[in-house]
Chains A and B, each alone.
Chain A
Amino acid sequence: MTATLNRTSATRHTPRLAGLLDGARKVAHALATPLVPADYLDLIDPLRAGADLRGRIVDVTPETADSATITIQPGRGWDGHAPGQYIRIGIDIDGVRHWRAYSLTHRADAADGLISITPKAIPDGKVSNHLVRATTPGTLVMLDQATGDFTLPATLPERTLFITAGSGITPVIGMLRNSLDDLGDVVQIHCAPSERDVMFRDELLSYAVASRLTLHENHDDVAGVLDLASLDTLVPDWREREVWVCGPTGLLDAAEAHWEAAGLADRLHVERFRPSVVEPGDGGTVTFDRSTVTVDADGGTPILDAGEAAGVLMPSGCRMGICFGCVVPLREGAVRDLRTGEITSTDENSGAVPIQTCVSAAAGACAIDL
Chain B
Amino acid sequence: MTLAPERTSTATRTGVNSRLSVTSTEPRPQRPELKKSGRPNPAAHLTPEQIEEIGRELDAIRAEVMDSRGAKDAAYIRKVIKTQRYLEMGSRAALLFSGVKYRGVRPFWWIGTAGLSVSKILENMEIGHNVMHGQWDWMRDPKIHSTAWEWDNASPSSQWKHSHNEIHHTFTNVLGRDNDLGYGILRVDEDQKWTLFYLFQPIWHVANALMFEYSIAAYDLELGGYLAKKKRLSAEEKAKFRKEADEVLAKIKRQATKDYVVHPAMAAATFTGSTRHTLTANIVANLVRNVWTNTVIICGHFPPGIETFEKTSIEGETRGDWYLRQMLGSGNISGSKAMHVMTGNLSHQIEHHLFPDMPSNRYAEIAPKIRDLMERNDLKYVTGSLAKQVGGVYWKVVELSLPNKVEGRRRRDTILKAARKAIKGKGGQGRRY
**Residues of A in contact with B (beta carbons under 8 Å apart):** 1, 27, 30-35, 39-40, 43, 92-98, 293-298, 300-302, 305-306, 309-311, 317-325, 327, 338-340, 353-354, 358-359
Choice from B63, B150, B165, B319 contacting A323 with Cβ under 8 Å: B165
B147 cross-chain contacts in A, Cβ below 8 A = 324, 327, 354
The B contact surface, by secondary structure, is: helix
Which A-chain residue is minimally distant from B251 (CB atoms)? A34
B66 cross-chain contacts in A, Cβ below 8 A = 340
Choice from A309, A323, A339 contacting B20 with Cβ under 8 Å: A339
Q: List 24 A-B contacts (CB under 8 A).
A: A1-B148, A30-B254, A31-B263, A32-B258, A34-B151, A34-B255, A40-B89, A43-B85, A95-B139, A293-B3, A298-B13, A311-B3, A318-B165, A319-B19, A320-B19, A320-B170, A321-B20, A321-B357, A322-B356, A323-B133, A323-B165, A324-B134, A324-B161, A340-B66
Choice from A33, A297, A327, A358 contacting B17 with Cβ under 8 Å: A358
Are A296's CB and B20's CB within 8 A?
no
- Is B146 at the interface (CB under 8 A from chain A)? yes
Choice from B16, B74, B132 contacting A92 with Cβ under 8 Å: B74
Cα distance A200–B133 in the bound complex, in angstroms: 48
Q: A309-B7, A359-B20 are in contact. Are A31 and B262 (CB under 8 A)?
A: yes
A35 cross-chain contacts in B, Cβ below 8 A = 150
Are A96's CB and B139's CB within 8 A?
yes
A319 cross-chain contacts in B, Cβ below 8 A = 17, 19
> What distance in Å separates the Cβ of B4 from its nearest Cβ neighbour in chain A?
10
Shortest Cβ-Cβ A-B pairs, 3 listed: A95-B74, A324-B134, A317-B166
> What distance in Å separates the Cβ of B268 from its nearest Cβ neighbour in chain A?
13
A-contact bits for B68-93, CB 8 A (1 contact / 0 none): 01111111000000100110010000
Among A35, A40, A298, the one with the most B-chain Cβ atoms within 10 Å of its Cβ is A35
Are A92's CB and B71's CB within 8 A?
yes
Cα distance A1–B254 in the bound complex, in angstroms: 14
Cα distance A259–B152 in the bound complex, in angstroms: 61
- Is B407 at the interface (CB under 8 A from chain A)? no
Cα distance A359–B59 in the bound complex, in angstroms: 15
Cα distance A323–B322 in the bound complex, in angstroms: 14
- Is B10 at the interface (CB under 8 A from chain A)? yes
Which B-chain residue is minimally distant from A353 (CB atoms)? B140
Choice from B1, B11, B319 contacting A296 with Cβ under 8 Å: B11
Choice from B11, B63, B134, B254 contacting A306 with Cβ under 8 Å: B11
- Is B191 at the interface (CB under 8 A from chain A)? no
> What distance in Å separates the Cβ of A83 from its nearest Cβ neighbour in chain B?
30
Cα distance A39–B143 in the bound complex, in angstroms: 9
**Residues of B in contact with A (beta carbons under 8 Å apart):** 1, 3, 7-13, 15-17, 19-20, 59, 63, 66, 69-75, 82, 85-86, 89, 132-134, 137-141, 143, 145-152, 161-162, 165-166, 169-170, 251, 254-255, 257-258, 262-263, 266, 319, 322, 356-357
Q: A95-B69, A97-B141, A353-B140 are in contact. Are A31 and B166 (CB under 8 A)?
A: no
B263 cross-chain contacts in A, Cβ below 8 A = 31
Which A-chain residue is minimally distant from B1 (CB atoms)? A311
Which A-chain residue is minimally distant from B359 (CB atoms)? A95
Cα distance A178–B1 in the bound complex, in angstroms: 56
Are B11's CB and A34's CB within 8 A?
no
Which A-chain residue is minimally distant from B266 (CB atoms)? A31
Among A27, A306, A310, A324, the one with the most B-chain Cβ atoms within 10 Å of its Cβ is A324
Cα distance A142–B12 in the bound complex, in angstroms: 42
B134 cross-chain contacts in A, Cβ below 8 A = 323-324, 327
> What distance in Å separates the Cβ of B425 from its nearest Cβ neighbour in chain A?
40
Choice from B17, B20, B71, B150 contacting A34 with Cβ under 8 Å: B150
Are B143's CB and A1's CB within 8 A?
yes
Cα distance A91–B412 in the bound complex, in angstroms: 68
Choice from A1, A294, A327 contacting B146 with Cβ under 8 Å: A327
Cα distance A311–B166 in the bound complex, in angstroms: 22
> What distance in Å separates the Cβ of B5 from its nearest Cβ neighbour in chain A?
11
Are A30's CB and B262's CB within 8 A?
yes
Are B133's CB and A324's CB within 8 A?
yes
Which A-chain residue is minimally distant from B171 (CB atoms)? A318
Cα distance A340–B169 in the bound complex, in angstroms: 21
Cα distance A43–B161 in the bound complex, in angstroms: 27
> What distance in Å separates the Cβ of A313 from its nearest Cβ neighbour in chain B?
11
Among B69, B262, B266, the one with the most A-chain Cβ atoms within 10 Å of its Cβ is B262
> What distance in Å separates the Cβ of A366 from its nearest Cβ neighbour in chain B?
13
A353 cross-chain contacts in B, Cβ below 8 A = 140
A339 cross-chain contacts in B, Cβ below 8 A = 20, 59
20 additional A-B residue pairs with CB within 8 Å, beyond A302-B16, A318-B169:
A27-B262, A30-B254, A31-B258, A33-B257, A43-B82, A95-B69, A95-B71, A97-B141, A294-B8, A296-B11, A298-B13, A300-B16, A317-B162, A320-B319, A323-B169, A324-B137, A324-B147, A325-B166, A340-B63, A358-B17
A358 cross-chain contacts in B, Cβ below 8 A = 17
> What distance in Å separates the Cβ of A264 from its nearest Cβ neighbour in chain B?
43
Among B17, B63, B82, B150, the one with the most A-chain Cβ atoms within 10 Å of its Cβ is B17
A301 cross-chain contacts in B, Cβ below 8 A = 11-13, 16
Choice from A30, A300, A302, A317 contacting B258 with Cβ under 8 Å: A30
Are A305's CB and B15's CB within 8 A?
yes
> What distance in Å separates the Cβ of B275 from its nearest Cβ neighbour in chain A?
15
> What distance in Å separates the Cβ of B73 from its nearest Cβ neighbour in chain A?
6
Cα distance A269–B133 in the bound complex, in angstroms: 48
> What distance in Å separates the Cβ of B90 from its nearest Cβ neighbour in chain A?
12
> What distance in Å separates the Cβ of B153 from its nearest Cβ neighbour in chain A?
8
> What distance in Å separates the Cβ of B317 from its nearest Cβ neighbour in chain A?
10
> What distance in Å separates the Cβ of A110 from its nearest Cβ neighbour in chain B?
31
> What distance in Å separates the Cβ of B11 from its nearest Cβ neighbour in chain A?
4
Cα distance A98–B89 in the bound complex, in angstroms: 31
Which B-chain residue is minimally distant from A292 (CB atoms)? B1
Are B165's CB and A325's CB within 8 A?
yes
Are B20's CB and A338's CB within 8 A?
yes
A300 cross-chain contacts in B, Cβ below 8 A = 13, 16
B150 cross-chain contacts in A, Cβ below 8 A = 1, 34-35
A354 cross-chain contacts in B, Cβ below 8 A = 137, 140, 145, 147
> What distance in Å separates the Cβ of B176 from its nearest Cβ neighbour in chain A?
18
